[in-house]
Chains A and B, each alone.
Chain A
């Protein structure tokens, strides 16, 4: 995107054109500085770090072994997180589509009340639920399992997903569903052949958001998970700090690995993501 080009080459016009770039540049700088630090420290040992914290080490002194160490260290965490995030996202979006389809297309007695209840859930701060949730999971013998993370994530994410998807599905032309009904499609087939293909970008957006949420989740795994081999990244990473001889370079390398899957995901889905967001915004 380029800044709007002013047709009048006046000084004020030029300033107006430059200013957004300056602001954006400043924001980027602030955003990228920690990333820069992470990356350059990841190639140093502690001595080099203390000696020269701000600038990258000379190439010859780069400690590649940090990365190998980090990979071994957090590899299992990454695997756990991928498992939780992928399973949770798939279940979450699939269930949301079913629910939203129901709410969007049918008015049964009680569905209005049900909907309101759902929306009230959105107003509750999740953290307020933590203690009851813990008790519940304990009763269900789900403490210290990855399934607990998945189940809680799927249940918790539904409210927002339903809210977005219901409106989206309601905006799809009713005729399409009726035509499909005449063509012989039952509910599941209408979902599969009409809803899903037509809301692909919004589903993609919701999936990415669900995935991000799972990936960055911290509090719940911290409370629920006890065994180190079950740790997800959120908890795993903070335990890196302190329990081992603190090698900053290794920790930073681990952080880089933790971010890598997200970066890859984003590179492939960014267009979809933006499209979905703007679609949601323009529809009204």
Chain B
């Protein structure tokens, strides 16, 4: 177990052929505490894998430093970093049996045979691989291969585990199962784990903390609920949560002794009186473009004519079983409401929606930063 500290970490891929030099990671700072499960999440191409591979030592650091425990490991070979990595497509050695796959790293480290056998057996028991030890990877299902890949990391007992989208090749059900298994593994081993995914559900459910990246930069590092309730900016707000947060574009307008949010959309557009919590910080936004962020569960259907009610048309109803997602169109644009499944809403029917602004957020449209 060890802390992992990234300081001003930069990765620039040099120009090659007719592609120009490209900076994939732009000076990130991140501390992963001892025993923590840190999830790196972000859209494709944001530099998650590159960051992870730098920690693993598979990619050279352009500048900045990586510390594992007390040691700066920039120049240390992967095998001497005491870390293990689980690859997206498993990277099992196809010509070796499951047992040999698990034992390979231990053999190279010249552990005594009995110790190797004991560790492999323990890992196999833990992951339910005991009956498969003689098989070749080609004779395993995706989930089993994934377990072998995880097992190969476990037997080494490394200080830090790295996962690069380990579940993305599995079907939905298997993914959920493996998710809990890895989470359980973390609880049991108590090791530091860094887990890369672009699936925000995985991030939310597994991480002690989540680090959201975009275009080679870290936008926010926080615990899952914190991230959900208090996203630092528009990108995080839109990325975390499914269905995503609704964004209404508009402006903050002063009227009498209060402030209103007026959505773009011309005549009859939505006008919302901001509650005290939002009104005060909204002062800075007066006269400027603003974005109001409302989670789908903060949109309620109300009776027609009720105060704050806003007439909309149902564009699409997605019944999820326990709840239904309604895509609503209004003068202010399209937004999604998460409503109880009891009532069926037909496409095209007219409803009235009200926004629960107490938990909504205001963002500066220019800087995209959350103000409230």
Contact = CB atoms under 8 A, between A and B. Distances in A.
Contact of A176 (B56, B58, B91, B109): B91
Nearest to A189: B108
A198 B137 CA distance: 14
B95 interface: yes
Contact of B108 (A173, A175, A176, A185): A185
Contacts of A126: none
Interface centre among A175, A184, A185, A193 (most CB of B within 10 A): A184
Most buried by B among A180, A181, A182, A184: A182
Interface string B318-345: 0000000000000000000000000000
B85 A182 contact: yes
A241 interface: no
A181 B152 CA distance: 13
A198 B87 contact: no
Contact of A173 (B58, B83, B89, B152): B89
B108 A183 contact: yes
B143 interface: no
A197 interface: yes
A176 B79 contact: no
A186 B78 CA distance: 10
Contacts of A184: 79, 105, 108-109
A194 B91 CA distance: 12
Contacts of B156: 183
A178 B89 contact: no
A49 B108 CA distance: 65
Given A183-B79, A198-B95, A178 B105 contact: no
A178 B91 contact: yes
A180 B95 CA distance: 13
B18 to A, nearest CB: 15
Contacts of A181: 58, 77-79
B228 interface: no
B56 A182 contact: yes
A19 interface: no
A86 B109 CA distance: 34
- Chain A contact-residue range equals 10 to 19
B152 A183 contact: yes
B87 A175 contact: yes
A197 B108 CA distance: 16
Contact of A179 (B77, B93, B95): B93
B86 to A, nearest CB: 9
B79 A198 contact: no
A194 B105 contact: no
A275 B35 CA distance: 49
A182 B86 CA distance: 10
Nearest to A172: B94
Interface in A156-202: 173, 175-176, 178-186, 189, 193-194, 197-198
A185 B107 CA distance: 10
Nearest to A198: B95
A178 B87 contact: yes
Interface string A242-278: 0000000000000000000000000000000000000
A189 B89 CA distance: 22
A168 to B, nearest CB: 15
Interface of A: 173, 175-176, 178-186, 189, 193-194, 197-198
Given A175-B91, A184-B108, 8 more contacts: A175-B89, A178-B85, A181-B58, A182-B58, A182-B78, A184-B79, A185-B79, A189-B108
Q: Across chains A and B, which 3 residue pairs bring their CB atoms closest together, nearest first?
A: A183-B105, A175-B91, A184-B79
Interface of B: 56, 58, 77-79, 83-85, 87, 89, 91-95, 104-105, 108-109, 152, 156
